[in-house]
Amino acid sequence: MTITRRTVALCVLTLIAILAGANLVVASGRFNSAFQAYDQLELALTSFEYSSPDDPIQTEFVITNPTDERVTVRAVELRVQIGVHDTGGGENRVEAVLQRGESYSVSVPLRINDKEYVRRAKTPLDWRVSGRVQVQLNPAIEPVWIPFVVRYLPE
């Protein structure tokens, strides 16, 4: 049996295709799992305490990880609005690691910038909290910002 150049080339190409194909399949599988995990994260605003325009609004934000993956929460950024008017915001950049099924409660004081607008606004105030949470599934994957919006109407 003779081994031709065409056969050698085909064998080398097959070897490269197997290695590169394995990389492609594994990487796309991990990439998909990471985004599925991000999508399953549960975000909830559990506390919103407004006292006066001069004091910060105290908020409590809970992040729950129902996935099988370990998720690192790197930052929480919140903006507070009355209707569509931006009135202030705050952030918390304390890093926390969430194992499977764990929850993380983070306190974010929201500073009011436009105090006059808050004083003049018609009550009950139509508070809206929007923000984003930065989470990372795997050190190899870049952190992802997950945006959210919450509407809060005091009783």
Partner 1 sequence: MRDTVRLILVIVLASVANAGIVASTTTDLRDLTLIRVSDIWLLPGLILVGTLLSLAIGDLGRSALALITASVVGSLLFALAVAGPGFSISAIRVTLIDRATNYGLLSLLMCLLFGFAGLVVSWLIDAALGGQQWDERH
CA pair distance 109, 154, nearest whole angstrom: 17
Residue matched to tokens 């599925």: 36
As a whole number of Å, the end-to-end CA separation of the chain is 88
Q: Is 97 in the site for partner 1 (CB under 8 A)?
A: no
User: Nearest 5°: CA angle at 137, between 74 and 90?
Assistant: 20
Interface stretch with partner 1, choices 51-59, 100-108, 126-134, 136-144 (CB under 8 A): 136-144
Return the DSSP state at 108: E
As beta bridge partners, residue 107 has: 60
Confirm or reject binding of residue 9 to partner 1 (CB under 8 A): yes
Total of residues contacting partner 1 (CB under 8 A): 34
Stretch that binds partner 1, among 75-83, 91-99, 113-121, 135-143 (CB under 8 A): 135-143
Select from 6, 46, 123, 124 the one that contacts partner 1 (CB under 8 A): 6
Look at residues 79, 48, 60, 65 and name the one whose alpha carbon lies nearest to residue 135: 65
What is the β-pairing status of strands 85-92 and 57-64? unpaired
**Shortest Å, Cβ 22 to partner 1:** 5
Site for partner 1 in 16-55 (CB under 8 A): 16-17, 19-24, 26-28, 30-32, 34-36, 38-39
* Residues near partner 1, by CB under 8 A: 2-6, 8-10, 12-14, 16-17, 19-24, 26-28, 30-32, 34-36, 38-39, 138, 140-141, 146
